[in-house]
Amino acid sequence: MNKTVLVVASHTDDEAMGCGGTIARHVAEGDTVHLLFMTDGVGSREIVADEATERFSAAQQAAEILGVKSSTNLSFPDNSMDAVPLLDIVKEVESKISEIKPEIIYTHHIGDLNIDHQVTHKAVMTACRPQPDFSVEAIYAFEVLSSTEWQTPGLMSFIPNVFIDITDHLATKIKASEAYSEEMRAIPHSRNVSHIELLAKHRGYCVGVHAAEAFTLVREIKK
């Protein structure tokens, strides 16, 4: 039976870097994928109008490349989500879950350096507190370059225990990431397309496939 999948990300580009290959695989296998973004990703910068428009356009392009069914952008403050009452964020996530009833959710790792990632994870977990007849059966946390690996060593480290083979979908992940060219940086900065590809290959080689995305399984309910 085909699944409904929800990706809850703080910023546009997190979805491509964190689980773009997995999204493409879900779509290829007949699943329906929806994206929910918390911020515009540029609001903390001094000049934002044109950048926000460019970022939105890039997100639309990436969504088309990945083949998702819908993409929703909320308007919480970029890099300041900790200034918003958590309940306000939870209500938005709950609303989307109630609307589409996903069986699977992908979101940020709780230990990321970026504060928006941390708050987004907490909001997802609060919205997904166990209840009878709740649609969500599995929650996975992904890694995002230039946040996950930048956290203080040993502080809520990202230790993956689920690896999804994206060998046949790595090219799509790369193409979606390239849509966010304005967000990429020159080598040897952590956030660049070459590093995204290298990480996918590294995660794949760790488990004996050509390319993979790594996750921590937060919760899984077998029915």
Task: Express as a percent the part of the chain with pLDDT over 90.
Answer: 90
Residue 162 DSSP SS3: strand
Q: Report whether pLDDT(42) > 60.
A: no
pLDDT at residue 45 is higher than 60: no
The angle that helices 170-178 and 193-206 make with each other, rounded to 10 degrees, is 160
CA 50, CA 120: separation in Å to the nearest integer? 25
CA distances from 5 to 33, 46, 70, 215 (A): 5, 35, 11, 15
Which of 36-45, 49-58, 70-79, 199-208 is predicted with the least confidence, judged by mean pLDDT? 36-45
- pLDDT above 90: residue 1: no
Give the confidence band of 55 by pLDDT, cuts at 50, 70, 90: confident
> How much is the pTM?
0.95
Residue 84 pLDDT exceeds 90: yes
Buried-state track 123-139, b at ≥16 Cβ within 10 A, e below 16: bbbebbeeeeeebbebb
Mean pLDDT, the chain, rounded, equals 94
> In the block, which residue shows the tokens 């699977």?
104
How far apart, in whole angstroms, are the C-alpha atoms of residue 31 and residue 68? 9
Q: Is the pLDDT of residue 185 over 50?
A: yes
The per-residue pLDDT for 44 is: 46
Residue 50: pLDDT band (50, 70, 90) is: low
* CB-CB neighbours of 97 under 10 Å: 21
Domains in the chain, ordered, with CATH? 4-220 (3.40.50.10320)
Cα gap 162→206, rounded to integer Å: 11
